[in-house]
């Protein structure tokens, strides 16, 4: 395929609102804005992991007296959890097609080769972020893997891509039920064991006492009536759980215990994360990073991220990101998506509280998990949020804000690494050691501070340089040639989508 390959059927190469001198024909301003919003928004949830706001601590708020912390947690969960990453995935998916179909690639390079090299280097950056910079919640590795897997689909028609997005979302729903089915199986085994225990409890207490007495006699008097003793001993054994039954009981009780708040449950993690020794923190986080980059990816991530990338590819083909997309059509998308998505999020939050309070009771009354429709929820809300932003862009108001967010979005790769560096240095023990020391509200205050630093840095940097430092390094590695960096070096066609 040549570097001047035509776009897929339905692709609309529009630029939208002007984004400045560095805007190339392959850029879409609304995508830069959405990327910037998603990049900043991801930190609202990531700060939980960075700052030590653990699942155990969240359980305390959910199962205790519902006060300000609970309301704040519920709001963030309903409005942001999973949605910013979904929005980022949508933009990434759209940029897959933009990158492959743009016409200003170097003529001596094959577009598929450049694209695959691009994803492989992104994979390496992701491993570096997770293993060296110690961010176990890294998403770059996942995006690179999905970017390679979705490459063959870029020529599909928008309608087919949209159907693929729906199918993968439904599979994701199925995977969610799969986890619940495993818990349900444990609960059924547990109830069977408790039924046996109730039967044991109904046994005559005097008989049990007699059996215990005879067992003692047999131990002390080998010449006692062994025939009678053996009969009674067999009855005693029949009134005892088998190893398999005991194992089934422990499995469910262990699961329920893991859902309960433990006042000392975070002590080990806090101690490890506050260590001033980088090697100790590295060793503590390594298993978590490996699990997220492998197990989570092939079991859940491939559907989580892939569904939203398919959606982004489809929306680009429909012209959704174009400045001229009909306002009425946007309204018909935005309003139902946001309302339905928020309703699903509210129900998910409500039933999660019930599950944590009494999982057995939840099992008795519900046949699906509390988060069964989480994939649909984020599908709707991410689409609704994107449409809402595009509607606001089309009004022409707050141009300074959109320009600022667009600049931040064009440096998303650099800013993503900046989030990792700023947060790990502030929270981890080899830095300032604030891990687990701040309240939930204070953590969101740190989020705002990081935002301000990133926005200020992006605005200043963009005055003198064509792209962010990590974007420049990435592109230079992909082309294996030093790319124009300062604005004085800029030549026509030197710029393009900076994270796709």
Provide the residue range defining the domain that includes 124: 29-177+265-479
* Look-up of token digits 């001229």: 324
What is residue 14's predicted lDDT score, i.e. its pLDDT? 37
Quick one: pLDDT band at residue 220, thresholds 50, 70, 90? low
pLDDT of residue 26: 56
Check whether 13 has a pLDDT greater than 60: no
> Is residue 223 located within the same domain as residue 322?
no
Answer yes or no: is 10 within a domain. Answer: no
Phi, psi for 132 (deg, rounded to 5): -95, -50
pLDDT attached to residue 215 = 61
Average pLDDT over residues 470-486: 92
Per-residue confidence at 192, pLDDT binned at 50, 70, 90? confident
Q: What is the pLDDT of residues 437-475, one digit of tens each?
A: 999 999 999 999 999 999 999 999 999 999 999 999 999
Per-residue pLDDT at 242: 78
The predicted-structure confidence for 150-185, as pLDDT tens digits, reads as follows 999 999 999 999 999 999 999 999 999 988 999 999
Q: Is the same domain home to 121 and 229?
A: no
pLDDT of residue 246: 83
C-alpha span between 414 and 129 (Å, rounded): 12
d(CA 346, CA 120): 39
Residue 184 lies in a domain: no
Which residue, 258, 286, 307, sits at the end of a domain? 258
Are 371 and 302 in the same domain?
A: yes
Which pLDDT does position 209 carry in this prediction?
Answer: 59
Q: Is residue 165 part of a domain?
A: yes
| Cα atoms in the 13 Å half-sphere on the side-chain side of 56 | 14
Q: Which of 258, 284, 300 is the last residue of a domain?
A: 258
Give just the sign of the alpha carbon dihedral 395, 401, 407, 410: negative
Considering the domain architecture, whether residues 336 and 230 belong to the same structural domain is answered as no
Of the candidates 91, 154, 147, the residue with the CA atom closest to the CA atom of residue 117: 147
Mind listing the pLDDT tens digit for each residue in 94-116? 999 999 987 766 656 788 899 99
pLDDT band at 402 (very low <50, low <70, confident <90, very high): very high
More confident residue, 328 or 499: 328
pLDDT surpassing 50 at residue 16: no
Average pLDDT score, the chain: 87
Residue 307 lies in a domain: yes
Residues 435, 456 within the same domain: yes
CB atoms within 10 A of CB 409: 28
Question: Is residue 468 within 8 Å of residue 498, measured between CB atoms?
Answer: yes
Determine which helix (DSSP H) or strand (DSSP E) holds 346, and give its type and residue range.
helix 327-357
Query: Which pLDDT does position 333 carry in this prediction?
Result: 96
85 and 54 in a common domain: yes
Note whether 147 and 278 are same-domain residues.
Answer: yes
Give 231's pLDDT tier (boundaries 50, 70, 90).
Answer: low
Please report where in the chains the tokens 């433990």 appear, as a residue: 262
Cα atoms in the Cβ-side hemisphere of radius 13 Å centred on 302: 11
Say whether both 285 and 224 belong to one domain. Answer: no
Same domain? 129 vs 270: yes
What is this structure's pTM? 0.86
Residue 198 pLDDT class (50, 70, 90 cuts): confident
Residue 381 confidence class, pLDDT cut points 50, 70, 90: very high
Number of domains the chain is built from: 2
pLDDT for 337 beyond 50:
yes
Element (H, E) at 461: helix 440-462
Residue 7 belongs to a domain: no
Query: Which range is least confidently modeled, 55-64, 216-225, 323-332, 455-464?
Result: 216-225
Do 44 and 151 fall within a single domain? yes
Single out the residue of 470, 469, 451 nearest to residue 461, CA to CA.
Answer: 469
Phi, psi of 436 (to 5 degrees): 70, 10
Whole-angstrom CA distances from 183 to 59, 147, 416 are 19, 33, 36
Task: Give how far the C-alpha of residue 122 lies from the chain's centroid of Cα atoms, to the nearest Å.
Answer: 18
**pLDDT above 50 (res 50):** yes
Number of C-beta neighbours around residue 55 at 10 A: 15
111 with 249, same domain: the answer is no
> Does residue 111 lie in a domain region?
yes
Tokens of 140: 């770059």
- Whether 3 is in a domain gets the answer no
Answer yes or no: is 171 within a domain.
Answer: yes
Helix (H) or strand (E) holding 251: helix 243-258
Do residues 217 and 343 share a domain?
A: no
Number of other residues whose CB lies within 10 A of the CB of residue 174: 13
Q: What token pair was written down for 280?
A: 């100790």
pLDDT digits (tens, 9 = 90+) for 430-440: 999 999 999 99
Q: Token pair for residue 443?
A: 């953590």
Coil, helix or strand at residue 480: coil
């Amino acid at each position: 395929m040549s570097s001047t390959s035509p776009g897929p059927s339905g692709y609309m190469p529009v630029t939208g609102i002007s984004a400045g001198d560095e805007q190339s024909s392959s850029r879409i301003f609304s995508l830069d804005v959405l990327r910037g919003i998603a990049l900043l928004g991801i930190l609202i949830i990531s700060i939980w992991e960075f700052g030590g706001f653990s699942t155990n601590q969240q359980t305390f708020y959910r199962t205790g007296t519902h006060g300000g912390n609970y309301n704040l947690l519920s709001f963030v969960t309903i409005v942001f959890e999973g949605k910013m990453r979904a929005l980022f995935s949508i933009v990434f998916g759209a940029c897959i097609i933009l990158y492959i179909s743009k016409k200003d690639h170097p003529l001596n390079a094959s577009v598929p080769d450049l694209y695959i090299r691009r994803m492989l280097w992104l994979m390496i950056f992701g491993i570096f972020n997770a293993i060296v910079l110690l961010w176990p919640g890294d998403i770059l590795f996942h995006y690179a893997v999905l970017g390679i897997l979705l490459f063959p689909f870029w020529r599909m028609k928008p309608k087919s891509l949209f159907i693929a997005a729906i199918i993968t979302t439904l599979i994701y729903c199925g995977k969610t039920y799969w986890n619940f089915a495993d818990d349900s199986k444990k609960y059924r085994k547990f109830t069977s064991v408790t039924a046996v225990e109730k039967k044991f409890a109904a046994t005559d207490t005097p008989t049990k006492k007699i059996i215990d007495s005879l067992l003692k006699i047999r131990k002390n008097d080998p010449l006692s009536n062994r025939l009678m003793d053996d009969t009674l001993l067999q009855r005693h054994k029949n009134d005892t759980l088998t190893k398999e039954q005991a194992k089934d009981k422990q499995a469910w009780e262990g699961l329920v215990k893991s859902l309960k708040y433990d006042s000392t449950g975070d002590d080990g993690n806090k101690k490890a994360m506050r260590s001033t020794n980088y090697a100790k923190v590295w060793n503590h986080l390594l298993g978590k990073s490996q699990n997220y980059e492998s197990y989570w990816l092939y079991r859940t991530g491939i559907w989580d991220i892939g569904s939203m990338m398919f959606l982004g590819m489809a929306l680009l083909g429909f012209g959704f990101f174009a400045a001229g997309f009909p306002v009425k059509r946007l309204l018909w998308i935005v309003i139902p998506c946001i309302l339905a998505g928020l309703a699903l999020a509210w129900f998910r939050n409500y039933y999660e509280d019930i599950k944590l309070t009494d999982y057995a009771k939840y099992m008795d009354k519900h046949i699906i998990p509390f988060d069964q429709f989480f994939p649909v929820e984020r599908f709707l809300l991410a689409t609704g949020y994107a449409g809402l932003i595009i509607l606001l862009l089309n009004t022409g108001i707050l141009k300074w804000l959109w320009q600022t967010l667009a600049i931040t979005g064009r440096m998303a790769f650099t800013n993503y690494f900046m989030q990792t560096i700023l947060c790990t240095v502030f929270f981890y023990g080899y830095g300032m050691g604030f891990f687990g020391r701040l309240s939930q509200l204070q953590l969101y205050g740190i989020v705002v501070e990081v935002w301000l630093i990133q926005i200020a840095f992006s605005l200043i940097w963009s005055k003198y340089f064509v792209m962010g430092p990590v974007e420049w390094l990435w592109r230079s590695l992909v082309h294996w040639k030093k790319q124009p960096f300062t604005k004085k070096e800029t030549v026509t066609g030197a710029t393009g989508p900076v994270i796709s």
